[in-house]
Structure 1
Amino acid sequence: MPMYERFYSSVTGKKGRWITLLVWLVLAVVLTVTLPAVGDEEANNAANLSDTKPSVQAAAVDATEFPSDSGTPALLVLHREGGLTADDLAGLQKLTAQWEAAPLPEQVGVPPLHKLPMPALQAELSEDGSTIVAPVLFAAGADTETMKESLDQLREDAAATLGGDPFNTETDAADALSARITGPVGIQVDATGLFKNADVSLLLGTVLLVLIILLLIYRSPVLAFIPLIAVGFAYMVVGPILGAMAREGWITIDSQGISIMTVLLFGAGTDYCLFLISQFRHHLGEVESKREALLKALTGSAGAIAMSGLTVVLSLSALLFAQYGAYHRFAVPFSLSILIMAIASLTLVPALLAIFGRTSFYPFVPRTAEMIAERARKKGKPVPAKKAARAGRIGRLVVRRPWAVVLSTVIVLGVLAGFSSQMKVTFDILSSFPSDMESREGFKVIGEQFSEGSLAPVRVIVDTEGSDVKAVSERLSKLPYVASVSEPEQGQVNTNIAAMDINLTMNPYSLEAMELIPQLREEAAAALTASSSDSAADDRVWIGGQTAEQYDTKVTGDRDTRIIIPVVIGLITLLLLIYLRSVVATAYLIGTVILSYFAALGLGWIIIHYVLGADAMSGSIPLYAFVFLVALGEDYNIFMISSIWEKRKRMPLKQAISEGVSETGSVITSAGIILAGTFAVLASLPIQVLVHFGIVTAVGVLLDTFIVRPFLVPAITALLGRVAFWPGKHEEVKEPSSAASH
């Protein structure tokens, strides 16, 4: 007996099944009790850019030369339709005096508005006198939870001093004072709060969705819970392991990663369980022994499950090549969760099926023809005639008219893929927030009453080497996209270093603003060159601030995309070559999934832009969607093509294709609906980046499930015939003359 059969036999044996269940139970309990929970080790303010990036270097120079101004600002926006009153401004002065005397937690600075005479303070108002913005600076390295506590205290202080409830007053309320907190600190705290609140609702929504779909498909309460039990155990195991790794500093994990990991576990994990369950149900209709049926199911599906899991694990591990922190942080949690889930699918799920046996499918219990006949005789009923097995309509269609199927599906996918060229991306974090979120409302008020650029000024730092810094500020102020330039500040360590804040005339988080960063650098360097004998001043200019950081984010993300996409394709190609031993099949399996990916981007853009009305999607979605869709889409191809490869050894190829498509059709359709549904749950969250990611991934899975897997791939296989197996050989099995027509 081969080693893998001995392993399957031990896992499903009379004692082995209980031992397997006990091992998973003990492992889950011990890890949960002894190791930290992954949620307790979240680091939602972890840096995404390395120290080598220009904006990070600018921040380091800023912190050294201008330590008093090196904090991260929270912007308190006070607004009253018709104009702020003297009492409003006096209240603000009391607040700045209070925060100067008794700073908020992690506060490093506050403007001394209380020391300004009233006319000078009124000069800081918007043109119509309705709005003023007061920055409160916090330590750059402060954790989000502490900053949240500080902002909560800030609101309490402001409400007590200003009177009423300004933070819950509509910004357009007539003759009422409204207050909002925005700026980098407000945005960061709001973003973290969204993800934190989303975790529980996402978990509950995903569990309920999977449970309902399983009940509708299989109509068996026992069977519906078996995949959920397996996913639950896998989650209980992977969570503490990730928590321990994060505590040791080996990895960094955040709320967004945990949210997507949860969806991935339930979606992909349930798929693996269903691949085995479908085989088990099929063999229960052929053999009376439930254990023999389970061993046959494992023999027939374990290889495909292991291969599918390995494909996803390696694809997600490719994110380790990323330089951008958010991409890199996802690699270990995602790949480890799928690895543990695949192990659970090949050990815990077989043990549970061995324990429940045919009862797993109650009340629709699969039985052999002999068992059905025996039950009928005992009840005194006529023995039902045995239904002849026949291929489904789709299976017959793809082998009878492969050219028509290939051309029609390629046209559909190609048209959808064409829309991907119209897709626009954004790195504006504010666009991910609900329109009624405080930091977004505050930003809107600033944009309407001042320059939008004042929300996040661009910090320009130069080393003058003794030349006049005014030449730089004057040149920058003349640029058409610059609203204002602050007075230059002199460095405290190196007096030749000067810094100035630039307010742009546009949204500083927009793609348009980000593209101006190289121009600002060139203009500042040119001004330095013109005022000194140095012919190259690029190394004496540093550009910092949120806009510069997002520009570096885009550049880094583009680099990661160029590296990771070929790595993922290469890894999957290598695995398919080893598994199928066919260059031709590997080529068209990869090609169809890539076509499906671009079609998913195109269809996703149609929904996001033309239906939901969004102007752009997050710049990180194309890479995330590629890694997920190519890996998960190949899962379905592997499971279906494995069935064809196995059947063609004992029947004609066209019959093997037809029956392979029909045999795997229902389980892959069920798995695809569940996986798409779990990703679609993300679209219910109030976070636009997850909404867009959920939409693109869900439609991509559905395209793979209902077009690529049942039609395109088998039709190409039918067209190519024995060439599909090259350089391997295919010996065509002749159909017996008495065989039924398929």
Structure 2
Amino acid sequence: MSNKKSGYGNWVAGKRSKWITLLVWIAAAGLLSALLPSVNSQEINNSPNLKSGKPSVQADAVAAREFPSGSDIPALVVLHKGSGLTETELDVVRKLTEKLSASPVPHQTAVPPFHTLPPQALQSQLSEDGSTFVLPVLFAKDAGAENLKEGVTELKHELVAIAGADPFAEPRDSADKLSARVTGPVGIQIDATGLFKDADVSLLIGTVLLVLILLLLIYRSPILALLPLVAVGFAYGVISPLLGWMASKGWIVVDGQAISIMTVLLFGAGTDYCLFLISRFRQLLRTETSKTRALLAAVTGSSGAIAMSGLTVVIALLTLLVAEYGAYQRFAIPFSLAILIMGIASLTLVPAMLAILGRASFYPFVPRTPEMQRERAARKGKPAPAAPKEPRNWAGRIVTGKPWTVLFVCLLFLGGLAAVTPQIKFTYDLLSSFPKDMESREGFAVIGEQFSPGELAPAKIIVDTQGKPVALGEKLADLPYVDVLSEPQTGKSDPNIVAYEVQFDLNPYSIEAMNHIPELRKVAEQALAESGVANPQDGVWIGGQTAEQYDNKTTGERDTRLVIPIVIGLISLLLLLYLRSVVATVYLVLTVIVSFFSALGLGWLVVHYGMGAEAIQGAIPLYSFVFLVALGEDYNIFMISSIWQKRKRMPLKQAIKEGVGETGSVITSAGLILAGTFAVLATLPIQVLVQFGTITAIGVLLDTFVVRPFLVPAITLLLGRWAFWPGKLEPVGEKDSALK
């Protein structure tokens, strides 16, 4: 081996440099963790996802200026008793509102003065069957989730003290006891934050245990099983304080969802990169007596594929920076930085630890050369061991034996799954991602059963009348989906500004309700135009949760249309630079795109028919695409690199057969671990993560067991020498040509 080829390996895993590399990582992780804040300490949940120019955000700004008392966010306290609320329970409402009026809980801004109403007026607020009462308590709009939780917790204590029992512990459908639930925008925000906060620890423990168990089952070595986890631990020790520092400076915003998925990505992809090197090292130890030469050869042979794989994922994730939707943007830096540092750890720290441990890394199944095995047997007075059997390479034999059959079966299977995607239904309803027994979801269910579900989140239509009489109220009242229309309010600083609150007769978070937002705008603009208002399109603002969700939907769809082509383009460019083959670049990208749509189709079948979900969250396709296309190319790069190298010294058919066999076990192991880590997300009580984890895990498995071992090699063999175009490789031992 030339010094040029082994120079990098000597630099990180030489006789002395291996200790220096290890000490550098220990010092980096220790000092950064001690001097900088952790990423978890800088977590900010419920950050705005929409920019100031979005219509719903502009409407909120107008509402805050002209209707300050109506710009706060409500917590809806739902009181219910199946047999009907009596005067005793209504007296609890009076005492509670009197208490909250005199001594507001933290961050409370207002509460209706129900304690001042006569009995008949309070009775009129009950549901039709007299079983339910909804008490709105307003909180400051700028209060964070923790502040809101503090206020609601105090509110609950007050209610329990007044009621003399705990109505929050009673079943929501109790017939003879008072039950209470807090829902509305405040309750939903508190529950969403709590779900992600509680998920962090359980997700980390579950991911670590899964990776450890899979590594033990696959490699049967306790030391080797711990080695990738140690590398991930050191990488996280650098990643967490760096992200925490960036967040403390205000350069990025991190939330619980991003941290949860980043943890999974770090363990899954990080372990994969470690295994790419470890498997090559183990393979060489069976033919090379010197562990040092074996390691240097392993580093030289796998570092290019590892670096390229990591760079592909980093570039794909950074593409999310061009998105307008806040949640997408917040993923870009944490995810890409995590993969970048993990890739560096895989190329430096892991070789150093392997150099220190040597063959002992694989104890008790230590790989040795045949000569070493014979010498060891002789020392122990045992007969020489039989020559090791050649590993079974059934996938390579099938692909090279019947490439057309393999191609047809793969495309039929993947295409059939992809054909399911037009049936997929999407939702942007945050409540549907909560467990059914979550407090805010239970409260919403009671409101939907006893009142109009639109009461949970009314839409606010604000118009600038320019001092002219506008018959907007009549037009809104005539709309078939409007259940309740409030009296008009005039602006505080501008009396020409008029606002109506509209309660839908359906779930305000549903796509059907969101699709009514453009119609409401059209009706308002038409009413202004008929009254002679100039430029009516500039004088209409629609706010509220439904309008915000509509903007989320349109912004997310815009980002999907923009991000996906950019990701495909950048990954294609990287592959072209690495492989120097236009043809290979095209079919490698196309195979992972087909794999993505197949995963989406199969994922829908599992989520819809297996898990009972009526729809998947609207953000899932973009999230899954970015991860699956980037991670799917990792396996293609690792395998195709092996074929490309072997093709220089053997016929293409043999190179494909050996390349598939050589990379098969490590890619299968890596795929199982990566899919397993994403599947851990499916154990969480958050539907958006359950669906994302399920679909991504399915996509990884399709890449691992269909695309990589069968589809890509079959296409490569069928294209023959054209797979390398415009590169020209002289045939070795046989004439290579495209099969016809």
- Calculate the TM-score normalised by the size of structure 1: 0.98
Deviant stretches of 4+, over 4 Å? 1-4, 387-391
Aligned match of 1:293:
294
| Aligned mates of 1:728, 1:414 — CA distance in 2 | 31
Task: Describe how 1:131-530 pairs up with structure 2 within 5 A.
Answer: 131-387=132-388, 389=390, 392-469=393-470, 471-530=471-530
Question: How much does 1:683 deviate?
Answer: 0.2
Question: How much does 1:526 deviate?
Answer: 1.1
* 1:551 counterpart = 2:577: no
* 1:45 counterpart = 2:17: no
Q: Per-residue displacement from partner, 1:214-263 (whole Å, max 9, x unpaired)? A: 00000000000000000011111100100010010000000000000000
| Aligned mates of 2:501, 2:130 — CA distance in 1 | 23
Q: Per-residue displacement from partner, 1:667-715 (whole Å, max 9, x unpaired)? A: 0000000000000000000001100000000000000000000000000
* Secondary structure of the corresponding residue to residue 333 of structure 2: helix
Greater mean alpha carbon deviation, residues 140-149 or residues 533-542? 533-542
Q: Per-residue displacement from partner, 1:167-210 (whole Å, max 9, x unpaired)? A: 01112112111110000010010010011000000000000000
* Secondary structure of the corresponding residue to residue 384 of structure 2: coil
* 1:699 counterpart = 2:698: yes
Aligned match of 1:673:
672
* Secondary structure of the corresponding residue to residue 435 of structure 1: coil
Question: How much does 1:387 deviate?
Answer: 4.2
| Aligned mates of 1:610, 1:387 — CA distance in 2 | 47
* Secondary structure of the corresponding residue to residue 420 of structure 2: helix
Aligned match of 2:606:
607
* Secondary structure of the corresponding residue to residue 104 of structure 1: coil
Aligned match of 1:13:
14
Greater mean alpha carbon deviation, residues 87-96 or residues 437-446? 87-96
- Inter-CA distance 515–374: structure 2 relative to 1 (3 Å threshold): same
Q: Per-residue displacement from partner, 1:495-541 (whole Å, max 9, x unpaired)? A: 010111100010000011001000001011111222x2236412111
Aligned match of 2:89:
88
Question: How much does 1:89 deviate?
Answer: 1.4
Question: How much does 1:322 deviate?
Answer: 0.5
| Aligned mates of 1:460, 1:720 — CA distance in 2 | 61
Q: Is the 8 A contact 2:400 2:717 kept in 1?
A: yes
Q: Is the 8 A contact 2:636 2:708 kept in 1?
A: yes
- Inter-CA distance 302–344: structure 2 relative to 1 (3 Å threshold): same
* Secondary structure of the corresponding residue to residue 502 of structure 2: strand
Amino acid at match of 1:468: P
Q: Per-residue displacement from partner, 1:276-308 (whole Å, max 9, x unpaired)? A: 000000110111111100000001100000000
* 1:689 counterpart = 2:688: yes
Amino acid at match of 1:561: T
Question: How much does 1:468 deviate?
Answer: 2.6
Question: How much does 1:130 deviate?
Answer: 1.1
| Aligned mates of 1:391, 1:259 — CA distance in 2 | 38
Question: How much does 1:349 deviate?
Answer: 0.3
Q: Is the 8 A contact 1:318 1:567 kept in 2?
A: yes
Question: How much does 1:732 deviate?
Answer: 1.3
- Calculate the TM-score normalised by the size of structure 2: 0.98
Question: How much does 1:376 deviate?
Answer: 2.1
- Inter-CA distance 238–561: structure 2 relative to 1 (3 Å threshold): same
Amino acid at match of 1:503: Q
Q: Is the 8 A contact 2:472 2:527 kept in 1?
A: yes
Q: Is the 8 A contact 1:391 1:658 kept in 2?
A: no
| Aligned mates of 1:24, 1:385 — CA distance in 2 | 42
Question: How much does 1:271 deviate?
Answer: 0.1
Aligned match of 1:118:
119
| Aligned mates of 1:98, 1:89 — CA distance in 2 | 14
Q: Is the 8 A contact 1:391 1:659 kept in 2?
A: no
Greater mean alpha carbon deviation, residues 364-373 or residues 695-704? 364-373
| Aligned mates of 1:73, 1:30 — CA distance in 2 | 45
Q: Is the 8 A contact 1:95 1:157 kept in 2?
A: yes
Task: Describe how 1:583-602 pairs up with structure 2 within 5 A.
Answer: 583-602=582-601
Q: Is the 8 A contact 1:69 1:109 kept in 2?
A: no
Q: Per-residue displacement from partner, 1:383-438 (whole Å, max 9, x unpaired)? A: 23434646611101111110000000000000000111111110000000010010
Aligned match of 1:542:
541
| Aligned mates of 2:133, 2:523 — CA distance in 1 | 31
| Aligned mates of 2:672, 2:279 — CA distance in 1 | 15
Q: Per-residue displacement from partner, 1:551-599 (whole Å, max 9, x unpaired)? A: 0000000100011001100110000000000000000000000000000
| Aligned mates of 2:8, 2:150 — CA distance in 1 | 54
Gap runs ≥5 in structure 1? 737-742
Q: Per-residue displacement from partner, 1:19-75 (whole Å, max 9, x unpaired)? A: 111111111111111111111111102100000000000000000001112111111
Amino acid at match of 1:124: Q
| Aligned mates of 1:365, 1:390 — CA distance in 2 | 17
Q: Per-residue displacement from partner, 1:91-110 (whole Å, max 9, x unpaired)? A: 11221121122111111111
Q: Is the 8 A contact 1:27 1:237 kept in 2?
A: yes
- Inter-CA distance 389–652: structure 2 relative to 1 (3 Å threshold): farther
* Secondary structure of the corresponding residue to residue 50 of structure 1: coil
| Aligned mates of 2:63, 2:163 — CA distance in 1 | 34
Q: Per-residue displacement from partner, 1:712-731 (whole Å, max 9, x unpaired)? A: 00000010010000000121
* Secondary structure of the corresponding residue to residue 106 of structure 2: coil
Gap runs ≥5 in structure 2? 736-740
| Aligned mates of 1:289, 1:596 — CA distance in 2 | 41
Greater mean alpha carbon deviation, residues 103-112 or residues 654-663? 103-112
Aligned match of 1:76:
77
| Aligned mates of 2:422, 2:676 — CA distance in 1 | 26
The root-mean-square deviation of aligned C-alpha atoms, in Å, is: 1.2
| Aligned mates of 2:6, 2:119 — CA distance in 1 | 86
Aligned match of 1:24:
25
Q: Per-residue displacement from partner, 1:72-92 (whole Å, max 9, x unpaired)? A: 111111111121111211211
Q: Is the 8 A contact 2:50 2:324 kept in 1?
A: yes
| Aligned mates of 1:609, 1:634 — CA distance in 2 | 28
| Aligned mates of 2:723, 2:225 — CA distance in 1 | 37
- Inter-CA distance 249–4: structure 2 relative to 1 (3 Å threshold): farther
* Secondary structure of the corresponding residue to residue 206 of structure 1: helix
Question: How much does 1:4 deviate?
Answer: 6.5
Aligned match of 1:739:
none
| Aligned mates of 1:309, 1:84 — CA distance in 2 | 62
* Secondary structure of the corresponding residue to residue 134 of structure 1: strand
Q: Is the 8 A contact 1:426 1:617 kept in 2?
A: yes
| Aligned mates of 1:598, 1:146 — CA distance in 2 | 42
* Secondary structure of the corresponding residue to residue 599 of structure 1: helix
| Aligned mates of 1:126, 1:473 — CA distance in 2 | 25
Q: Is the 8 A contact 2:466 2:533 kept in 1?
A: no
Greater mean alpha carbon deviation, residues 381-390 or residues 336-345? 381-390
| Aligned mates of 1:238, 1:514 — CA distance in 2 | 39
* Secondary structure of the corresponding residue to residue 215 of structure 2: helix
Q: How many residues align?
A: 734
* 1:578 counterpart = 2:581: no
| Aligned mates of 2:151, 2:454 — CA distance in 1 | 25
Amino acid at match of 2:366: V
Amino acid at match of 2:266: L
| Aligned mates of 1:374, 1:514 — CA distance in 2 | 76
